[in-house]
Amino acid sequence: MSKRLRTTLALIAAGAAAGSLTLFMAPSADAATTLGASAAASGRYFGTAVAANKLSDSTYVGILNREFNSVTPENEMKIDATEPQQNQFTFTNADRIVNHAAAQGMKVRGHTLAWHSQQPGWMQSMEGSALRSAMLNHVTRVATYYKGKVVTWDVVNEAFADSGGGRRDSNLQRTGNDWIEAAFRAARAADPGAKLCYNDYNIDNWTWAKTQAVYTMVRDFKSRGVPIDCVGLQSHFNSGSPYPGNYRTTLESFAALGVDVQITELDIEGSGQTQATTYGNVVKDCLAVARCNGITVWGIRDSDSWRASGTPLLFDGSGNKKAAYTATLDALNGGTTPPTTPPTTPPTTPPTTPPTSPPPTGTGCSATVTLNSWNTGFTATVRVTAGATQVNGWAVTLTLPSGAAVTNTWNAQNTGTTGAVRFANVSYNGRISAGSSTEFGFQGTGTGPTATPTCVAS
Ligand code: XIL
């Protein structure tokens, strides 16, 4: 026996005697080594914007094929590219990307059917009902052409103003406030199988008026049956629009409306460990939200970026992995939350063994609160845990200090907004098996609750 092997065996024996073999554990066998495979392990995709004219660059294509399982044409599906003259459609460059994706088994996000920007000249000079018809015709023709090939469409892009919480003025907006829902209905009719997203920037910070305005529109669309399936957060982060600490709250809040959320154009200006940490945080936030089902970065190498001087991407100009890449991959491999849509009906299988001891007396559930507070408001995450028996419904009562009020709730239904507020389960999270937990949350103005919550099971 060699000396080294003897030493190793001795160490293993010592470790086993100490009750710990941690030292000798190999990295987790299922920690995937590419962005796409790591994201796929939790049912998500990891994509990039792709430019058709770079598909002849072997370094670029090498990274693309190795790392990514979704693509978004960076410019090739925009209105000026696909309908350069009215009613004359050109799909050559977009098809180069779609065909590449198909050959590699990658998904395609279509970007974008209706937008105030990158309109062809003929559309820029249109207004009123003629423009409305031309826009709907464009949506219909392009979505029909790509039926079955584009998994998700950014149907409408950037329709909200940067401040003030209203719509952005544009020729499309001037055709009537209902232009957005008209575009979604036309897209659904053209390709009923595609997921339909509203996509925008600066909707990352939950407290910003623009975020709230988009949230209100999506809530309205869901309540009126306008066909919308997802919200895309572009997430172009830099010093003027930094990654916000409440990003996860934003993702959770949109998701709680019953839509998927996707990070659609991620880039983070900066360098080194600071940039890497932010990338990691963004990925962790997405993984923490079941309905955050995919991330797309807006280019491959820093030199491919529309904001190249900010070096905002995961690979340097030579195609080397940056610290930001490693942080992203590590975060993806740490993810455990599967992106499943909450079931709308409770599971039907009854427990196979009846409880052997009589159910405990008492409330049958307990609740704990985690607060994230700022000067003028807070978000509360409440964990509801079942006792020794399954609960089939629950209600948590929390007392807010005077001056505080609930403004928004997810994964629960509240009665009242001030004082003692009651939060009851919604259809998909009433049943909690013995000892298990579920979470709901709410946002409020003023100071968050400090008193212990009460939980009553039914
Ligand atoms: C950018 C492209 O990256 C550039 O190549 C192009 O010159 C301008 O558009 N929001 C969007 C994207 O929705 O379409 C934009 O892409 C970046 C901002």
Write out the H or E segment, with its range, that includes residue 213. helix 209-224
The minimum-distance atom of ligand 1 relative to the CA of 236 is 18
Residues sharing a CB contact under 8 Å with residue 197, sequence separation 6 or more, in sequence order: 152, 153, 154, 155, 228, 229, 230, 231, 232, 260, 262, 264
Distance CA 424, CA 457 (A): 10
The minimum-distance atom of ligand 1 relative to the CA of 78 is 14
Which protein residues touch ligand 1 with a CB less than 6 Å away?
74-75, 157, 234, 265, 306
For the chain, percent of residues with pLDDT exceeding 90: 75
**Going by CA atoms, what residue is nearest to atom 4 of ligand 1?**
306
Q: What is the pLDDT of residue 236?
A: 98
For tokens 């770079």, name the residue.
54
Distance CA 447, CA 375 (A): 8
Tell me the catalytic residues. Answer: 158, 265
pLDDT digits (tens, 9 = 90+) for 105-120: 999 999 999 999 999 9
Cα 74 to middle of ligand 1, angstroms:
7
Residue type present at position 216: T
**Going by CA atoms, what residue is nearest to atom 15 of ligand 1?**
74
The minimum-distance atom of ligand 1 relative to the CA of 115 is 13
Distance of CA 13 to the CA centre of its chain: 46
Q: What's the rounded mean pLDDT across residues 69-81? A: 98
Please tell me the pTM assigned to this model: 0.71
Local confidence band at 442 (pLDDT 50, 70, 90 cut-offs): confident
pLDDT digits (tens, 9 = 90+) for 41-57: 999 999 999 999 999 99
Q: What is the pLDDT of residue 52?
A: 98
**Going by CA atoms, what residue is nearest to atom 16 of ligand 1?**
74
**Going by CA atoms, what residue is nearest to atom 5 of ligand 1?**
306
Cα 66 to middle of ligand 1, angstroms:
24
pLDDT digits (tens, 9 = 90+) for 220-264: 999 999 999 999 999 999 999 999 999 999 999 999 999 999 999
Q: What is the pLDDT of residue 358?
A: 45
Torsional class of 202: left (φ above 0), alpha (ψ -120 to 50), beta (otherwise): left
